[in-house]
Structure 1
Amino acid sequence: MDKTTTLLFSLLFLFTLLTNSLSKNLCNQDDKNTLLKIKKSLNNPYHLASWDPQTDCCSWYCLECGDATVNHRVNALTIFSGQISGHIPPEVGDLPYLETLIFRKLSNLTGQIQPTIANLKNLRILRLSWTNLTGPIPGFLSQLKNLQFLDLSFNGLTGSIPSSLSLFPNLLSLDLSRNKLTGPIPESFGSFQAKVPDLYLSHNELSGSIPKSLGNLDFNRIDFSRNKLQGDASMLFGANKTTWYIDLSRNMFQFDLSKVEISKTLGILDLNHNGIRGNIPVQWTEAPLQFFNVSYNQLCGHIPNGGKLQTFDSYAYFHNKCLCGAPLDSCK
């Protein structure tokens, strides 16, 4: 082997050693210590077996580190579908570069939403869903000014919805569905600070009327189904809106449908099990409906011909006062 080849092999060997050395030390030591405290707080579950203090934490399961521009700080913690018991560890608030925090499908995760989460000023995604968290939705969440997606669905949260949840300047989606929330929809939801978010409040015990101010907003998706809401919901509709999805089913809404115009972009509309009266407007034939249900109301009159309205079977219309025409029986 000549000197040039020997030198090249030596350089390659040194480069490999240097690379391996660097790769073992990507993780910030403060983040690593915090993660080990989180693991201990969760009783050292097998789900986090890869969290070995002798290895680089950026290689551990359930988390991600940023690139060199943020010194490889932990920016995502995603723990889901594991045999994990206990409360959300308070130490999650000691990961200052977190942008994503997810605890999901952990049926033995209990307690209230951890107050230290308010320390995570860079957080963009907070998803605490399909757990057994209880207690109120804390107002301190509104301190997370960079938050874009807030999902607290499928829990046992109680109490009213904080009006401060309308203050997020960057919120795109708010999902509070499938809890035990009570009281009205906050009046402040008619004046979200940012782009109007997708709003999911279904399967709760919300009551009262929808604030009229919500009629000024152009939602893309609204799901208020399976609550105890009542009164007029017609302000949510409008021919000039760009709404795609509206589900108001299984409430106690009562209003006249006859003059309600819907968005020409509306694809999903579910109004079943309410007290809605009047007839179905002809204008509704202009919408590209993919799912439609107005059953169990007090509607009357001829179902307009054209568009998508005849593509749905009778189950979309039955149990009304006196609706007729295809797909129901002919009008007499």
Structure 2
Amino acid sequence: MASEKSFLLVVAVLLLLSPALGAKERCNPQDKKALLQIKKDFNNPYVLTSWKPEEDCCTWYCVECDRKTNRIVTINIYLSVPETNFSAKIPDSIGLLPYLQTLTLHHLPYLTGRTNISGPVPAFLAQLKKLTYIDLSFNNLSGSIPPELGQLPKLEALHLDRNHLTGPIPASFGSLKSNPDIYLSHNNLSGPIPPSFFRLNLTRLDLSRNKLVGDASGLFGATKATQTIDLSRNQFAFDLSKVKFSKTIISLDLNHNKLYGALPASLTALDNLQLFNVSYNRLCGKIPVGGNLQKNDVYSYFHNKCLCGSPLPKCSN
């Protein structure tokens, strides 16, 4: 009797320790098939060696399954240092994951240097209606931003920064009712901001280091939820004195543009303002006194047409 109990105990322990014996595979078969195709399309990189057909894909590195549905909801491939040859385009096979919510393909270099995922931003991403987060930053993407991305109903954040994207900001982005955080900096985007874009009530927006032109004042408004906005190093031109700012603003960077007019006195009411930079513009007049404006150093204001007053030199009579 004792030996029989010992045998049963050993079997129970083995069942607990062995997923193959003790538990049914969680992974949806169609999702596994799609992931294996993605691995193949990415040229079987080292970072995806855990993606083995004989193992449960919910246990694979870089992916996450929903705890209730067991469908793949996250792909998160991020390389902080060169580890593998990741030379392929973003594969269409990603579009075979209908429950995908988060897609991160960030900084994926060759083994020999910083040359990253190439090709355009794929329009098929618009088919993934559950997507809430897209991060394709720090890659080698080129071409224009597909207007189809404006059809994503649940998008909360879009990171396309630090690529080689060209063309305008799609007018379809004005249809993004979810008001996502948008990061398009360090590209070669050009043209004016489409009027439809001004309808958005964005919390975070970064359009810096592009070739954008025209009037961007529609991005601001006293009732908007803006917290951080970076329009620096473009060619925007508008009268800053007529702009109404939200009191929620924490960071406002407008340097290296063609802004003109005076600094509005309403800036002194922005109690949350921590970063402020209007250097290298065409502004004129006295810097308003109050709020956090005098807490910035001279480099936040210099190289304008005729700005004066603290922290710049005093205004002359």
Aligned-pair distance for 1:154? 1.2
Cα distance 1:298–1:220, how it changes in 2: closer, same or farther (>3 A)? same
The corresponding residue for 1:315 is: 299
Paired with 2:252 and 2:44, the residues of 1 have a C-alpha distance of: 46
1:157 and 1:300 map into 2 onto residues whose CA distance is 39
Does the alignment pair 1:280 with 2:257? no
Counterpart in the other structure of 2:137: 153
CA contact (8 A) 1:301 1:322 kept: yes
Q: Secondary structure at the match of 1:280?
A: coil
1:144 deviation in Å? 0.4
CA contact (8 A) 1:103 1:128 kept: yes
Deviation at 1:18, TM superposition (A): 3.1
Q: Distance between the aligned counterparts of 1:241 and 1:123, measured in 2?
A: 30
Amino acid at match of 2:309: G
Aligned to 1:245: 228
State TM-score, norm by structure 2.
Answer: 0.85
Partner of 1:80: none
| Equivalent residues of 2:45, 2:86 under 8 A apart | no
**AA partner of residue 121 (structure 1):** P
Q: Does 1:126 align with 2:110?
A: no
Q: Secondary structure at the match of 2:107?
A: strand
Question: CA 1:310–1:229 in 2, change beyond 3 Å: closer, same or farther?
Answer: same
Find 1:222's aligned residue among 195, 201, 205. 205
Q: Secondary structure at the match of 2:198?
A: helix
- Give the corresponding residue for 2:78: 104
Q: Is the 8 A contact 1:200 1:223 kept in 2?
A: yes
CA distances 1:235-268 after superposition (whole Å, capped 9, x unpaired): 0011111100110000001110011111100001
Matched AA of 1:210: I
Distance in 2, Cα, partners of 1:99 & 1:56: 15
User: Which of the numbers 92, 97, 102 marks the counterpart of 1:115?
Assistant: 92
- Report if aligned partners of 1:295, 1:318 keep a CA contact under 8 Å in 2: yes
Where 2:218 maps in the other structure, the secondary structure is helix
Q: Deviations over 1:178-225 (max 9, x none)?
A: 111111111111221x31111111111111111122222210011110
The aligned runs of 1:3-152 (5 Å cut-off) are 12-22=9-19, 24=21, 25-27=23-25, 30=29, 42-43=43-44, 45=46, 47=47, 59-67=59-67, 69-70=68-69, 73=70, 97-105=71-79, 108-131=85-108, 132-152=116-136
Q: Which runs of 5+ in 1 are unaligned?
A: 74-96
* Higher deviation after alignment, 308-317 or 175-184: 175-184
Could you tell me which amino acid in structure 2 is paired with residue 124 of structure 1?
Q
Task: Call closer, same or farther: CA 1:133–1:211 in 2, change over 3 Å.
Answer: same
Q: Structure 1: how far apart are the matches of 2:34 and 2:165?
A: 33
1:22 is displaced (CA, Å) by 4.5
Could you tell me which amino acid in structure 2 is paired with residue 230 of structure 1? V
Secondary structure in 2 matching 1:331 = coil
2:245 pairs with 1:257:
no
Structure 2 unmatched ranges of 5 or more? 109-115
Cα distance, 1:98–1:268 mapped onto 2, change above 3 Å: same
TM-score, normalised by the number of residues in structure 1: 0.81
d(CA) in 1 for partners of 2:96 and 2:55?
27
Which residue in 2 is equivalent to 1:327? Answer: 311
2:195 paired residue number:
212
- Secondary structure of the equivalent of 1:166? helix
Among 155, 158, 162, the residue aligned to 1:178: 162
Task: Say if 2:117 and 2:139, in contact at 8 Å, map to a contact too.
Answer: yes
Task: Give yes or no for contact 1:26–1:58 (8 Å, CA) kept in 2.
Answer: no
Q: Do 2:63 and 2:75's aligned partners in 1 also have CA atoms closer than 8 Å?
A: no
What percent identity do the matched residue pairs reach? Answer: 52
Tell me which amino acid in the other structure corresponds to 2:123.
G
